[in-house]
Structure 1
Amino acid sequence: MKIITFAIPSYNSQDYMEKCINSLLPGGEDVEILIVDDGSTDRTGEIADDYAARYPGICRAIHQPNGGHGEAVNAGLRNAQGIYYKVVDSDDWVDPEAYVQVLSTLKRLVRQGTPVDMLLTNYVYEKVHENTRRRMVYSLLFPQNKVIGWSEMKHNIKGFTILMHSVTYRTQMLRDCGLELPKHTFYVDNLFVYVPLPHVKTLYYLNVNFYRYFIGREGQSVAEQTMIKRIDQQLRVNYLMIDSVDPWKVTEKHLRKYMLGYLEMITVVTTSMAYLSHDKENLEKVRALWRYMKQKDRRTYMKVRYGIMGSAMNLPGPTGRRLSVKAYQLTRKIMKFN
């Protein structure tokens, strides 16, 4: 029985994917490592096949036509045999000491008959080009080392969001909620985290720095100029988040508040990219996004529009937009999210 399946979406990753794979191998027979070659044109597929040959029963290579990050995640989920499922991007890695604790915790929960829907762990922004690190810790939000429900969430602090790097989901729960990420779209990690949340009934916070998130590679999707160029994909994800979950059907008030805050943050990022682009067409696109949200559900719109971050993004005129961008840039500097 595999405790956890790690999916590694890999597209032209030959220069860095081995560090990622090697960091996962110490899990041994308890883990399954799915290296998803997403239509690469370099040696990525060859490297994946080599690991599958050298570590049979642990590593598997999946080759598919290019479908983007989301389709690679989908392929991993379709093929996963582990009780739990985690995505590790091919330029990231996991911490060895935290890895031991993660596996031990998941094995214990399964053995006790209390497998939770979501394991939450810390992650670290590794800004290698600046030689800096930033730990994202959830101890202010959740009690540690116990099985809980959303009602036991301690605080809702905007900006402290649950990201793909911090979640390990129960595989069957992801399948039961019908998660299917869109093809050829960046930023689908927000959907991966957001859509399953109403289906998460039990969670466990383990206060270890498990995931190491590399920032600084040229052309990386979270780089500001890259995000501006891909604003249409950011918009697509934003619309899908609005359409995929009705927060007012989420009965647990702590979770509903959190999800509204998450939607607010993503909408603010989308709006900020349009402002930073100084492009009239992009400005109209984000105005259309806000109008769509208002027409879709006025209650959701009011919560997002008049939240702390949402209000800052909707100051009137060019001066208001400049102040909005300054607020976004200050938040980015403090949180170090790109």
Structure 2
Amino acid sequence: MKVLTIAIPCYNSASYMERAIESLLVGSDDIEILIINDGSKDNTAIIADEYEKKYPNIIRAIHKENGGHGDAVNTGLKYATGMYYKVLDSDDWFDKKSFIKVLDVLRSMANKPEPIDMLITNYVYEKVSIGKSKSINYKSAMPEERIFTWDDIGDFKISQNILMHSVIYRTEILRNCNLELPKHTFYVDNIFVFKPLPYVKTMYYINVDLYRYFIGREDQSVNEKIMIGRIDQQIKVTKIMIDLYDPTQIESKKLRKYMTQYLTMMMTVSTVLLLKSNTVENLNKKDELWNYLRSKNKNLYEEVNKTLLGKLMQMDTFIGKKIILSGYSLSKKIYVFN
């Protein structure tokens, strides 16, 4: 069995996918790289096949009809043979020194009678166009370089949500929770991270900047204008996560608090984008989303409403909206996202 499977979903990625692939090749035969060609119309398939031919013991090219990012992740999980599973988007890359250290830890965990369920590392926003980068770490929330449980974690800052960029799951955990992301839907990486959390019992945090998250392409899904244009998909994902989670079924108070914080973040993102668009239709969608949360999961609504962000997001006054949008602009400058 391979120690780690890295799936690289690719759609028309020919101009940048090689950087992602090359950043992984320091992993030797302990890793498996699955290049998932999601119905690309450029030379992605050719590049994938060339890499498979060159590194037959490490790389496998998988070609499929277009189903979107989530479906590519599903395909990677279906074919994964590694004990652990990681997703690397085709326009991003790994820091090679950090990757070597991560693999050393995963190798040692693979030999334990009870291997850890989740490994967390830092990730870095790389806004190349303006020469800025911002590392997001978890050192104030998690013990470093030891096995721990949810009871050992501290408080997560708003910036410290565990994202697809920072998480490596044990493959069996993802399969046991019946993870299957919806097709032709953006922002499903949130479901990927969120759904398995109650199945996770043991964790390990390494304070290294492994994942380099490229920000700046005009067609990128996290581009603000594109996010507003795809707001229905953001709302769809948020509703799926609401349906997945019942805080009364989570025994660990700290896990419950974290998952509620994550849902609050999702509600916040949707609310901010709907307010920024400032159309009557989208303002109505904001109210409908909060009504959905209230009607579908009253316990969760009450938990979210206890948080400062939850209270702020429901302020319908002019001043309230001003506070929300000003806070968003400040966060954008600090954390260099979008």
Q: Which runs of 5+ in 2 are unaligned?
A: none
- Corresponding position of 1:320: 320
Letter of the 2:149 partner, please give it.
Answer: G
SS of 1:288's equivalent? helix
SS of 1:174's equivalent? helix
Contact 1:20 / 1:94 at 8 angstroms: preserved in 2?
yes
Q: Does 1:235 align with 2:235?
A: yes
CA distance in 1, matches of 2:99, 2:171: 19
CA distance in 2, matches of 1:90, 1:248: 38
Letter of the 2:182 partner, please give it.
Answer: P
CA distance in 2, matches of 1:255, 1:335: 25
CA distance in 2, matches of 1:146, 1:20: 29
Letter of the 1:131 partner, please give it.
Answer: G
Letter of the 1:296 partner, please give it.
Answer: K
CA distance in 1, matches of 2:12, 2:145: 38
- Corresponding position of 2:158: 158
Contact 2:69 / 2:186 at 8 angstroms: preserved in 1?
yes
1:279, CA displacement in angstroms?
A: 1.3
Task: State the percentage of identical aligned residues.
Answer: 50
1:182, CA displacement in angstroms?
A: 0.3
- Corresponding position of 1:189: 189
- Corresponding position of 1:119: 119
Letter of the 2:106 partner, please give it.
Answer: L
1:313, CA displacement in angstroms?
A: 1.7
Contact 1:67 / 1:184 at 8 angstroms: preserved in 2?
yes
- Corresponding position of 1:205: 205
CA distance in 1, matches of 2:319, 2:219: 30
Contact 2:133 / 2:336 at 8 angstroms: preserved in 1?
no
Letter of the 2:313 partner, please give it.
Answer: M
Deviates more, 1:55-64 or 1:296-305: 296-305
Letter of the 1:199 partner, please give it.
Answer: Y
1:328, CA displacement in angstroms?
A: 1.8
Contact 2:92 / 2:214 at 8 angstroms: preserved in 1?
yes
CA distance in 2, matches of 1:6, 1:332: 29
1:247, CA displacement in angstroms?
A: 2.2
1:217, CA displacement in angstroms?
A: 1.2
- Corresponding position of 2:137: 137
TM-score by length of 2: 0.98
Contact 1:77 / 1:85 at 8 angstroms: preserved in 2?
yes
CA distance in 2, matches of 1:316, 1:106: 48
Letter of the 1:76 partner, please give it.
Answer: G
Letter of the 1:104 partner, please give it.
Answer: D
Contact 2:268 / 2:313 at 8 angstroms: preserved in 1?
yes
Contact 1:159 / 1:265 at 8 angstroms: preserved in 2?
no
- Corresponding position of 1:272: 272
1:27, CA displacement in angstroms?
A: 0.7
- Corresponding position of 2:76: 76
SS of 2:101's equivalent? helix
Matches within 5 A, 1:1-338: 1-338=1-338
Contact 2:119 / 2:203 at 8 angstroms: preserved in 1?
yes
TM-score by length of 1: 0.98
1:297, CA displacement in angstroms?
A: 1.9
Q: Which runs of 4+ in 1 moved over 3 A?
A: none
CA distance in 1, matches of 2:281, 2:242: 21
SS of 2:326's equivalent? helix
**1:175-197 CA deviation, whole Å, 9 max, x = no partner?**
01100000000000100000100
1:325, CA displacement in angstroms?
A: 1.3
When residues 182 and 168 of structure 1 are mapped into structure 2, their CA distance, relative to the original with a 3 A threshold, is same
1:156, CA displacement in angstroms?
A: 2.9
1:173, CA displacement in angstroms?
A: 0.9
Deviates more, 1:282-291 or 1:3-12: 282-291
Contact 1:156 / 1:254 at 8 angstroms: preserved in 2?
no
**1:68-122 CA deviation, whole Å, 9 max, x = no partner?**
0000000000000000000000000000110110000000111233411000001
1:305, CA displacement in angstroms?
A: 2.9
Q: CA RMSD in A?
A: 1.1
CA distance in 1, matches of 2:320, 2:150: 37
CA distance in 1, matches of 2:333, 2:198: 31
CA distance in 1, matches of 2:105, 2:306: 40
Letter of the 2:282 partner, please give it.
Answer: N
